[in-house]
Structure 1
Amino acid sequence: MEPSDRIALTDLAARYAQAVDRRNPTALAALFTENATFVLPPALNGTDGPTEIQGRATLSDSIVGAVAHLHSTRHIVEQQVLDQDSATTAHGEAYCSAHHIYPRGEGFRNNRIEIRYQDSFDKVDGTWLFSRRELVVDFAEDVPVILLGS
């Protein structure tokens, strides 16, 4: 894989985290192919099996809608393993610590979820995009937090 492709794919994961944390469905949709698939595991969708969301507009609205009720989120992208399959396709796995801040009683709590994204990418008109993003939950914890600043 060329260094420029590796940088572009790493940037794509960071931009995804930023778009979710800023609740920006337009920015989020721009990171996916037109017919992209996003897969939520049973641990996050409240069912017995995975849920697939298809189409960039639908999935971007669904992802932003899923965090809209929270005070804030912070997705910290950690290591990323990337492999190029062809000149226009690649796959990889990105580790992420996802922080979900919500009010509880007189304070706030953080539902921290350690996740991995199993990704497939397509290069469309010279730009790498997600064609499939499958979320895997490794573990979670719920802890009190103190919010500093505004």
Structure 2
Amino acid sequence: MESSDRVALTDLAARYAQAVDRRNPSALAALFTEDARFVLPPALNGTDAPTEIQGNTVVASSVVDAVSHLHSTRHIVQQQVLDSDSATTAHGEAYCSAHHIYPRGDGYRNNRIEIRYQDSFEKVDGTWLFSRRELVVDFAEDVPVILLGK
């Protein structure tokens, strides 16, 4: 895999985090192929089985809707392992600390979830996009926080 492809795929993961945290469905949809699939684990969808969502606009609106009730979110992308399948396809895994800030009583709490994204990528018209993104939950904790900004 060319270093420029690695940079583009790392940037793609960062832009995903930014689009979610800014609640920007159009920016989020632009990061996925038109027929992309997004898989949520039972730990986050409230069922006994994974849920798969298909289509870039459906994925984007679903993800933004899922966090819209929160005060704020902060997705911190950590290490990424990337492997090339061909000149236009790749796969990888990205670690992420996902912070979900919500009001409770007279304060705020952070539902912090440590996740890994199992990703498949496709290069479309020279641009790397997610073709499939599966979220894996490793562990979570819920702690009080103090908001210092805004």
TM-score range (shorter-chain normalised) is over 0.9
Where do 1:84-95 residues align within 5 Å? 84-95=84-95
Misfit runs of 4+, over 6 Å? none
Report the secondary structure of 1:47's partner residue: coil
Indicate the residue corresponding to 2:9 in structure 1.
9
Indicate the residue corresponding to 2:141 in structure 1.
141
Percent sequence identity over matched residues?
Answer: 86
- Distance in 2 (CA, whole Å) between partners of 1:111 and 1:47 is 19
- Distance in 1 (CA, whole Å) between partners of 2:116 and 2:149 is 30
Indicate the residue corresponding to 2:40 in structure 1.
40
Letter of the aligned partner of 2:36 in structure 1? A
Q: Taking structure 1 as the reference length, what is the TM-score of the superposition?
A: 1.00
Letter of the aligned partner of 1:43 in structure 2? A
What root-mean-square deviation, in Å, do the aligned CA atoms of Structure 1 and Structure 2 show? Answer: 0.2
Report the secondary structure of 1:64's partner residue: helix
Report the secondary structure of 2:108's partner residue: strand
Indicate the residue corresponding to 1:49 in structure 2.
49
Indicate the residue corresponding to 1:105 in structure 2.
105
- Distance in 2 (CA, whole Å) between partners of 1:130 and 1:64 is 17
For structure 2, the 5+ residue unaligned runs are: none
Report the secondary structure of 2:134's partner residue: strand
- Number of aligned residue pairs: give it: 150
- Distance in 2 (CA, whole Å) between partners of 1:125 and 1:149 is 40
Report the secondary structure of 2:48's partner residue: coil
Q: Taking structure 2 as the reference length, what is the TM-score of the superposition?
A: 1.00
Give the deviation of 1:149 after TM superposition: 1.5
